[in-house]
Every structure is written in C-alpha cells, then in structure tokens.
Amino acid sequence: MLMPNIQPKITPIYQTSVFKFEDLDAVQQYFDEPGSRYLYSRNGNPNSDELAAAVNHWEGGAGAVATGSGMAAIFAALMTYCQAGDHVLCAADIYGGSAALLNLELSRLGITVSYVPFEELYDLQAHVQATTRLLLCETMSNPLLRVVDLRAAADECHRHGIKLVVDNTFATPVLTKPLAFGADLVLHSVTKYLAGHSDVTAGAVVAAMPEDVARLKQIGTIFGLTLSPMESWLSVRGLKTMRLRVAAHSQNAQLIAEFLERHPAVEAVYYPGLLAHPQHALATVQGRGLFGGMMSMRLADDAAAVNRFMQRSQRFPFAPSLAGVDSSCSHPLYTSHRALTDAQRAELGITVGLVRLSIGIEPVEELLADLAQALE
Ligand SMILES: Cc1ncc(COP(=O)(O)O)c(C=O)c1O
C-alpha cells in the first residue's frame, strides 16, 4: 500500500499484539539488534516503550519497564533481586497491597519478610540477616504520610550490602527522585499521579544500573507483567501534565491541611506540609518545597462519624484509589490496609476514624466549603 508522508505529532496507539516480519532474516535482525524492531507486544511495544522512557527520564535512571499495574511493578522490583530462600525488609509503614504480596504470596515462594518500624529504618543492624537482599519503603508512606530520609536509608542499606527499593507513588518525581539519593530501584503505581486522571491501571519500575534494567525487562516479559498499548498511551498523555498537576495538588492540599488542622471535628492531620509534621524539615528539602496532594485526617473513632462525613461530602467521593485530578477520599482500615494484621494496624494507628484524602485540582474554595459542611 502506498502511504502518504504521514508524520503524527503524537505517537499513535499501536493497538496490535504482534508485528510482521518479511522473512527469517528480518526476525533474526530483531534478536541481533535489540531495539531495531518489535516482535510481540508482551515483549515490547512502541507505546509501552514510550511510557517507560518518559518515566525513566523523570526519575533519572538507566532504563525502565512499564507494567500492568503498580502491584506488577512491586512484584517485578522484588523479583529483580530475590529468589527462594531470600529475606526482604519492608518498612512497617507500607501500602497494604505490598504487605499482602509479601505475606500471602512471596512467602509461598520461600521469600520471607520482616517489617522495620519507621524509627529503625536508619539502623538496620538488628533486622539484617545473611539472606537479606533489600529494603522496600515508600518516599511518603501510605496512609500516614511519614517521610523517609532516602539518603540515610540508602547509605544504611548499602553499608549492609542490600538494595534499596523505593515506591515513589505518593511523592512523584516532581517532588523527589529517589535514585538521586542512592536508591537502586524506584517504582510507581502509574495508576496514580503519573497517569493522573483515574482512568488507567498501570505501573513502572526504573533501575539505576543497566544490568537491573535487563533483569526487569526479562521479568516483565516472562512473567507477563508488561502493559498494553492503550493504557501506555493514556499514561504518556497524563504524564505530560504531571508537573503542573502536582504543583496544583500540592497548593490545594496545603490550604486544606491548614483548614483541617484548625477544625474541631478533626483530631489529627497527617500532611508533611504542616509545620507540626514530624518530618516537615526533611520533606521540605527532599520534596523541593512541594508536599503533594495526599493526606490523612483522624475523625472520632466511630464508624458513624466516618459514614456521616462520607455521606455528606459532595466533592470527596469514597473511591478507594488516589491521585486523580478530582478529589476523593478513602478508608485504609476498610480498603487499602485490610490485608495488614490486626497488630500491624494497631501499631500504625490505622483505626476506623482514619480517613485518607486525595486532594484534587478543583478550585480550592469549593473543596473547603464542601469539607466545612461535611464535617459540621
Ligand atoms: C503506594 C502504592 N503503591 C502501589 C500501589 C499499587 O498500585 P496498583 O493499584 O496500580 O496496582 C498502590 C495502590 O493504591 C499504592 O497506593
């Protein structure tokens, strides 16, 4: 077919599962010259490669893979360094899905886990075993927004010969680039701020070292963790406005956190932008003056009080995800952190009164008015 000279400004969606070859020489070229052609979309596709390159650019890595979800990204990251018989350290303040992956599934493959309390992340002596391979933590923890000193954590990990794997979903590289502080891998639920519009499920892992990129690519392809063309394309589109969105999320969140801090119905507010936040100074430096759009607030420990808030709010629908341009709220005890043990939840303070807010980019006065009437 004669094609006119078409030069789209935006990468088209290569909605194909497979690519054609002229003959055996052509397929041999695919294997001999990596990156010269495409074979099969699970192995690689122009759209998922574009997303991986864009996230890698943001995080300043040696390369990246796009995955089918944030959970797939966590799994790929852990499999990069671990095999049966190995041991993993995980920050006690962690997304419930990460804990579920470690507790319920990787344990069956012979990979064991110990949880490290927040205060002990910079002194791992008591936790490291001969088989320990890595520490998994979040730049800003879900749901209590504790901020990890990544430089100190990376130094401590490397002192013990283990890797640092950072889930940067809450912070985004607009605030913090963990590889620059010494992390070995950084991962995202792209579902959240990177895609940004609550219409995509995706993930990504970025590696500091080229050999880890090669491992990640193999793991992505063989376990079938890679991302579809359409989801990749939507994520790339979202990522183009991330810098602007995260600045707007942060501005709104600061004003809302200050409002909630003064509100008599709110017992505590967890937001790193507040002066009273225990890691405010660290968050200011590590986040380059931005604190992101996520926070949690503690209402009375009474399901009726939480239900009243959820039923009355018009602008914060109870939708157990986060980071969309439209605000929402979630409930860690009932949703994201269900899989933690009772002891883990009690230790962290994840109780019925804890409500997580994802602050959107709507006009802030509308959000403030809605919160005021919902908390009345
Ligand atoms: C911090 C964090 N990491 C990872 C994930 C998992 O991402 P996904 O839902 O895209 O699999 C989530 C999901 O809420 C999360 O909050």
Residue-wise pLDDT for 135-175, tens only, equals: 999 999 999 999 999 999 999 999 999 999 999 999 999 99
Residue-wise pLDDT for 3-30, tens only, equals: 789 899 999 999 999 999 999 999 999 9
Nearest CA to ligand 1 atom 10: 70
Taking 80 as the threshold, does the pLDDT of residue 48 lie above it? yes
Q: Is 201 touching ligand 1 by the criterion CB < 6 Å?
A: yes
Token pair, residue 4, equals: 């006119």
Share of the chain above pLDDT 70, in %: 99
CA triplet 93, 96, 98: central angle to 5 degrees? Answer: 90
- Please tell me the distance between residue 23's alpha carbon and the centre of ligand 1 in angstroms: 42
Q: What domains are there in the chain, each with its CATH number?
A: 24-239 (3.40.640.10), 242-375 (3.90.1150.10)
Residue 169: what pLDDT? 98
Choose the catalytic residue: 14, 30, 42, 184. 42
Q: Which residues on neighbouring strands pair with residue 329, listed in sequence order?
A: 318, 357
- At 59, the pLDDT band (50, 70, 90 cuts) reads very high
Q: Is 169 touching ligand 1 by the criterion CB < 6 Å?
A: yes
CA 226, 229, 234, 239 torsion-angle sign: positive
Q: In what order do the strands lie in the sheet with 328-330?
A: 268-270, 294-298, 354-358, 328-330
Longest CA pairwise span in the chain (Å): 73
Residue 45: what pLDDT? 97
Which residue type sits at 46?
P
Residue-wise pLDDT for 196-218, tens only, equals: 999 999 999 999 999 999 999 99
Q: Is 204 touching ligand 1 by the criterion CB < 6 Å?
A: no
Q: Residue 292 gets which letter from DSSP?
A: -
Is 0.85 topped by the overall pTM?
A: yes
Nearest CA to ligand 1 atom 14: 321
Q: Residue 179 gets which letter from DSSP?
A: G
Q: Residue 108 gets which letter from DSSP?
A: G
Residue 307: what pLDDT? 97
What distance lies between CA 283 and its chain's CA centroid?
Answer: 17
- Please tell me the distance between residue 329's alpha carbon and the centre of ligand 1 in angstroms: 15
Token pair, residue 71, equals: 């959970």
14 is catalytic: no
Q: Is 167 touching ligand 1 by the criterion CB < 6 Å?
A: yes
- Alpha-carbon torsion, ordered 99, 102, 339, 175, to 10 deg: 20
Residue-wise pLDDT for 236-272, tens only, equals: 999 999 999 999 999 999 999 999 999 999 999 999 9
In testing the pocket of ligand 1, which one of 67, 71, 295 has its CB within 8 Å of the most ligand atoms? 71
What distance lies between CA 112 and its chain's CA centroid?
Answer: 22
Residue spans of alpha helices (H) in 16-117:
24-32, 46-59, 70-81, 96-100
Residue 2: what pLDDT? 66
Residue 339: what pLDDT? 81
Residue spans of alpha helices (H) in 160-301:
172-175, 210-222, 229-239, 242-262, 280-286
Q: How far apart are CA 44 and CA 230, in angstroms?
A: 13
Q: Which residues on neighbouring strands pair with residue 167, listed in sequence order?
A: 138, 187
Residue-wise pLDDT for 276-332, tens only, equals: 999 999 999 999 999 999 999 999 999 999 999 999 999 999 999 999 999 999 999
In testing the pocket of ligand 1, which one of 192, 193, 235 has its CB within 8 Å of the most ligand atoms? 192
